[in-house]
């Protein structure tokens, strides 16, 4: 029997790379540091130092590359999932809507 991960359209690549988020919600626009845990062609999993980010929130993600052979990434994305990690952090799943 196929597991959930086997039914994905795109494979995930584990990266564990620091990134910068620009969060735009009803309350404000703020910048924060995060850790990109994995990435695929259409989404990412990010660990943020906030208890929660509301599903539907639009974010801008920037991941700087330390290699000249791999380009930096800049994208717009929407939060589609938020799971608590600790009392002060959560893991968000985002769907990439536009590459910059």
For the chain, what are the domain ranges?
Answer: 10-97
- State whether CATH 2.60.40.1120 applies to domain 10-97: no
Q: How many CB atoms lie within 10 A of CB 97?
A: 13
At residue 1 the predicted structure's pLDDT band, cuts being 50, 70 and 90, is very low
* pLDDT-above-70 percentage for the chain: 89
pTM of the model: 0.84
pLDDT 10s digits, 45-55: 999 999 999 99
pLDDT 10s digits, 15-26: 889 999 999 877
* pLDDT-above-90 percentage for the chain: 67
CA gap 66, 79 in Å, rounded? 26
């Amino acid at each position: 029997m196929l597991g959930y991960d086997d039914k994905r359209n795109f494979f995930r690549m584990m990266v564990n790379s620091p990134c910068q988020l620009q969060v735009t919600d009803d309350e404000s626009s703020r910048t924060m540091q995060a850790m990109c845990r994995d990435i695929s062609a259409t989404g990412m999993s990010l660990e943020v130092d906030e208890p929660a980010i509301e599903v539907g929130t639009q974010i801008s993600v920037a991941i700087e590359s330390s290699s000249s052979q791999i380009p930096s990434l800049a994208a717009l994305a929407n939060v589609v999932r938020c799971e608590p990690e600790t009392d002060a952090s959560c893991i968000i799943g985002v769907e990439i809507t536009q590459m910059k």
